[in-house]
Each structure stands twice: as C-alpha cells, then as structure tokens.
A and B are shown apart, each in its own frame.
Chain A
Amino acid sequence: MARAVTPKQKAINTGLAWTIGLLIFFPILWTILTSFKTEAEAIASPPVFLNFSWTLENYAIVQERSDYLRFLWNSVIIAGGSTILGVIIAVPAAWSMAFVPSRRTKDILLWMLSTKMLPAVGVLYPIYLIFIQLGLLDSRIGLVVILMLINLPIIVWMLYTYFREIPGEILEAARMDGAGLREEILYVLTPMAVPGIASTVLLSFILAWNEAFWTLNLTAANAAPLTAFIASYSSPEGLFYAKLSAASTMAIAPILILGWFSQKQLVRGLTFGAVK
C-alpha cells in the first residue's frame, strides 16, 4: 500500500537525500577543486572554496613528471584481466552451487566470503615470498591473479544470487534437448544471466581498479597501476596537495565516468535478489 506523503515531508526527504549525497561526494569534489588550485591555495587556512585562481598547472606538471598513460594501461590490464579470469572461474562455480547444491554449499559460500574478513596485511608476507619465488613481483600477470583471487568470493556470490533466479527447468530442458554441460552453460545459462554477469563484471572491474593494498605492495615500476601513480605524489619531498589531487583526479576519472554511465545497471545488479 502506498503511504501518503505530504509535500512538506517530501521536501524534507529530498533535502536530506541531497545533503547526504553531497556529504558523500564532498571529498571527491574537494579533490577535483584542489587539483585546480596552486599549492599555496591548496593548504590555505581557512580553505578557499571556489574563489581561487584556477590553474591547469598541476596537470601539466603531473603529466610531465610521470607517464600517466602507462599507469592507465596497467590499470586497464590488471582490472580487466582479473575480472575476465574471475568470471571464467566463477560461472561454473556459481552454476554448481545454484543448480546442484550439496548439503555443504551454504557453508562453502560463507567460507569463501570469510576470506574477505581476513586483513590483507596478514597474508602479505607469505604472498610476497610466493611472488618472489615465482618471479611474479612487479608483473601484471601476478596482479591479475592476486586481484582475481581477492574478488573471486564476491563474484561467485553475486553470480550465485543471479543464477538462483533462473528456473532450473530451463536448464533441464536444455539437457533434454541434447545439450552437454558446456553447451548448457554457454548457450542457455550465460545469455540468460547477461544482466547479472554485466553488473558483476562492472563491480569486479571497479573493485580491482581501486584496489590499493596489493597493487602498491607487489609492484615497483613495470606493473604499477594508477593507485601507485597517486601514491607517488604523496611523496618524500613533502606534501603537494594540489599535484596529489591532480593525480588522483586523473586516476579516478576513467572509473568515475564508467560508473556514471553504468549506474543504472550497477544499482539493479547490487539490489538484485534482495527484493522478490
């Protein structure tokens, strides 16, 4: 039943929603604004909001000092690679959990998720040593693998939730129609789950793009993605807020734009299965 909302209540709700939205967005806004300030204005007290001398100087310096495109390319490879690899592994896993569950399926799902509760720093040392042994330090392939593993529980969980919504009879029909397991997953399950897979891919990509702990600790120069690019500006010579902000803005811009265009898909994906 629809609840009656008075215009006044509606105005209050709208105001509140905008306030919260702006609060959440404020750090990003401030970063973007700071990136257009001079270093002096960036640390001015009291801080200046809009009435500063707008400049692109920081961007020019950042671009001059470091090769943005190389970092960007590494981010794309690492986030894209780990996402593709993760989905390839997670689809069959989620298929088996959703359609041929055993008594332990729920436990396995929870156990997978529990790996996310472990502080990453707890396994840094062993993983670092493994990476040295395997020669994976500062390699893109190493980061692809580690970020895939980190996001895999979430990818499996999300796909599992989507797959559960697909009626099992349709897969049985495919089996009766002569489809083997491979054909069943490729021609029937995956196309039907496209919206779910799309939002999973999106989320995994965003998580991998923003991941900073492993990308910072396991790379030096070759495989460093945009997170390392930002970090390099919180640097030894002292703090340069304006340049740091310019670097941050450049690093988050691609994912922010991607997220903006796909927000509908993302919201639908994240709330899917929550309401039935």
Chain B
Amino acid sequence: MGQITLENVTKSFGDTDVIPPLNLTIEDGEFCVFVGPSGCGKSTLLRLIAGLEDLTSGTIRIDDQDASQVPPAKRGLAMVFQSYALYPHMSVRKNIAFPMRMANIPQDEQNRRIEAAAKALNLTDYLDRRPGQLSGGQRQRVAIGRAIVREPAAFLFDEPLSNLDAALRVGMRLEISELHERLKTTMIYVTHDQVEAMTMADKIVVLRAGHIEQVGSPLELYRQPNNRFVAGFIGSPKMNFVTGAEAEKLGADSIGVRPEHIDIADDGPWRGTVGIAEHLGSDTFLHVHDTGLADTLTVRAKGEVGLRHGDPVTLAPQESQVHRFDAAGARLG
C-alpha cells in the first residue's frame, strides 16, 4: 500500500514561503510526476514527503497514518537521488544491503533480495565493485536497487536521470517505467523535463512557485491545459502564443496553437517567411517570422518539407485545436 495525502502542507525557509498551502493525493500504485521549472518547489515538496525537510504546517498522511512528525527512516519510503548518493566506501552488494541491514532482515533473505535486484537491474557482475568503478547509468541502477530491496510503500525519485547523457536517459526512463509496471508500487518522480513527465506519468502535477497549476494525466494536460503556463510548459516544441487582433477575433486575450496543429496550406490566413528550418527526417520544425502575430511561430510539419530559409509560407491553424486564454492567462471555454 502506498497512498500519500498532503493536507494544507506549507513550507517556509525563514521569511520565504516556498510552498503555500497545498493539497494533493497520490493514489496507491500511481506513477506521479512533479514537474515545473527550477525553483518551483518540486524538490522541496518531495523532500517534505520524504521527511528530509520539516513541515512548517499541514499534514502528510501515508496510508492514512499521520506521518508529519515521523523521521525519514520510519516512513517506509525509498528515495533515489540525483547524485545517486551511493556509499562510496561500500561495495555494490553492501550498498544494496544497507537498508536491509538497518531493518535487521536475516542474512539469507538479504542475499535473496540482492540477487533478485541485481538480476533485474543487470548488476550481477558488478556486485563486488565499488561505486567509483561504475558508470553513471550503473550507479543509478545501484541506487534503484538499494531502493527496491526494502520493499517501500512508495519510491521517491529526485531528478534521477539529469546526470546521465541523453541516450542513457531514454534507456533508464524505460527501465523505470518497466519497474513501475512490474512492482505496481507508488512512485513520485520529480523532474524539470516535461518529456520525462509526459512519457512516464500516470498523473502529472505541474508546479510553479510552490503552487499546483494543474493535476492530470499527460494527455489531459496536453489537450486541456488550465492556463497559459501549463500550455507553454507541456509539449515540445512549445505552444505558440498569439495576442492582439487575431486573439480578439476569438474573444480571448491570447490564443495558443501547438506547432503540430498548424498546417502549411496555400489558402491559410497566416503569412510569413521561413527562418530556420530544422530537418529531423521524421518531422521538420519551421521557425516562421514576419507573420505580424508573434516574433516566431514554430510549425511542425510531418516528414520532409522542401522549404528553405527566406521562403514565403502560408499557414492555417487547426481551428478545433486553438486554445483561448484570458488576460490572467486562465483557460477560456
């Protein structure tokens, strides 16, 4: 079991309120991702759940038990850190065994779980090495192994992939998702990378300045962003925002269209010149200038498009995919 409930949770450092009153429920077995720009309080929130930071006020419940004053060691949660935080003086085996040693689990059972975790994480050949002799990806696997063996109520991940190179990151992302499928244990995952959030989460919590901007499934956030901030944060490349007459025509202060929802069409209402064209093979990203709508409109065209720098282009937004926002940035309709 691993349902985690935050009730009116606040956190202040001195006079600075990092987390204003915040309510959130993470269901048992859910993969929940906290995402937001740096400094939005997502890591602080995770550390509050872990017990590594003290609450200023409010309540944290783990499986309906008030855990607000429970020390981190007793919360039954496991955490994977950005820096891996392995014990450099211990072998991989001892690193993985450490939480079980602390819990006085019998040696046979410890060995059984170590072998199982090592097998699942491809670490069997490295059990007697020190962390210093491993690559970044292997270190992160050891950190995950150390978290798995204690069979926690929930896993907490604090930007676990940001120290890895791009290729490894994609691989580890899949491994973590598979791990979740297999264990069905609650996972809370903090990242600033919206791609990680979109690909891994059951539920995304978008944070800004300690506030929850929106909670929902990846596709809910993609299709129905609550406000301009979420609209701009979720999706890559970023949503285009247009203000002025074009927005007023639709009764909004600003409108947003995702790059994939703008078509290149001869009879389109928007005209501009192609700036940079990024050819990815599967897609082409066109950065269109001089439209009179915004500095740059990003357009995602399927496949290869024969447009070059300086070419004129006419564009048509897909009307059903236009998001409307009011002056405060909130979604209209």
Give chain A's interface residues, CB within 8 Å of chain B: 167, 169-170, 172-180, 183, 187-188, 191-192, 194
Q: What is the 8 Å Cβ interface bit string for chain B, positions 151-164, against chain A (1 contact, 0 not)? A: 00000100000000
A178, A183, A191, A192, most chain B CB atoms within 10 A? A178
A176 touches B79 (CB 8 A): yes
B71 touches A177 (CB 8 A): no
Tell me the interface secondary structure of chain A in the complex.
helix
Smallest Cβ-Cβ distance to B158: which chain A residue = A169
B124 on interface, CB distance cutoff 8 Å: no
Give A171 to B77 CA distance when docked, in angstroms: 16
A176 touches B98 (CB 8 A): no
A172, A192, A194, most chain B CB atoms within 10 A? A172
Stretch at the interface among B24-32, B84-92, B215-223, B296-304: B84-92
Q: With A173-B79, A173-B85 known to touch, is A179 a contact of B73 (CB < 8 Å)?
A: yes
B50 on interface, CB distance cutoff 8 Å: yes
A177 touches B102 (CB 8 A): yes
Distance in Å: Cβ of B255 to nearest Cβ of chain A: 44
Q: Which of B50, B89, B103 contacts A178 (CB 8 A)?
A: B103
B85 touches A178 (CB 8 A): no
Q: With A169-B81, A183-B102 known to touch, is A176 a contact of B72 (CB < 8 Å)?
A: yes
B83 on interface, CB distance cutoff 8 Å: yes
Nearest 6 interchain pairs by C-beta: A178-B102, A173-B85, A177-B99, A169-B85, A176-B79, A191-B89
Give A215 to B182 CA distance when docked, in angstroms: 68
Give A173 to B74 CA distance when docked, in angstroms: 13
B78 touches A176 (CB 8 A): yes
A180 touches B88 (CB 8 A): no
Q: With A167-B83, A183-B102 known to touch, is A175 a contact of B89 (CB < 8 Å)?
A: no
Q: Which of A169, A175, A188, A194 contacts B72 (CB 8 A)?
A: A175
Q: With A167-B83, A172-B52, A172-B81 known to touch, is A177 a contact of B89 (CB < 8 Å)?
A: no
B113 on interface, CB distance cutoff 8 Å: no
Can you report 19 A-B residue pairs in the complex whose CB atoms are below 8 A from each other?
Answer: A169-B83, A170-B87, A172-B52, A173-B85, A174-B87, A175-B51, A175-B71, A175-B73, A176-B73, A177-B102, A177-B150, A178-B103, A178-B150, A179-B98, A183-B102, A191-B89, A192-B87, A192-B88, A192-B89
Residues of B within 8 A of A176 (CB): 50, 52, 72-73, 77-79, 156
Q: With A175-B72, A175-B73, A176-B77 known to touch, is A170 a contact of B89 (CB < 8 Å)?
A: no
B11 on interface, CB distance cutoff 8 Å: no
Residues of A within 8 A of B258 (CB): none
- Tell me which residues from 75 to 116 in chain B have a Cβ below 8 Å from any Cβ of chain A: 77-79, 81-83, 85-89, 98-99, 102-103
B141 on interface, CB distance cutoff 8 Å: no
Give A174 to B71 CA distance when docked, in angstroms: 12
* Further pairs besides A176-B73, A178-B74: 13, Cβ < 8 Å: A169-B81, A169-B83, A172-B81, A173-B81, A174-B98, A175-B52, A175-B71, A177-B78, A178-B73, A178-B99, A179-B98, A188-B87, A194-B89
A167 touches B102 (CB 8 A): no
B146 on interface, CB distance cutoff 8 Å: yes
Residues of A within 8 A of B102 (CB): 177-179, 183
Q: Which of A167, A180, A192, A194 contacts B73 (CB 8 A)?
A: A180
Distance in Å: Cβ of B296 to nearest Cβ of chain A: 40
Smallest Cβ-Cβ distance to A178: which chain B residue = B102
Residues of B within 8 A of A173 (CB): 79, 81, 85-87, 143, 146
B51, B83, B85, B89, most chain A CB atoms within 10 A? B85
Give A172 to B75 CA distance when docked, in angstroms: 13
Smallest Cβ-Cβ distance to A103: which chain B residue = B14
Give A87 to B98 CA distance when docked, in angstroms: 25
Distance in Å: Cβ of A189 to nearest Cβ of chain B: 10
Residues of A within 8 A of B87 (CB): 170, 173-174, 188, 192
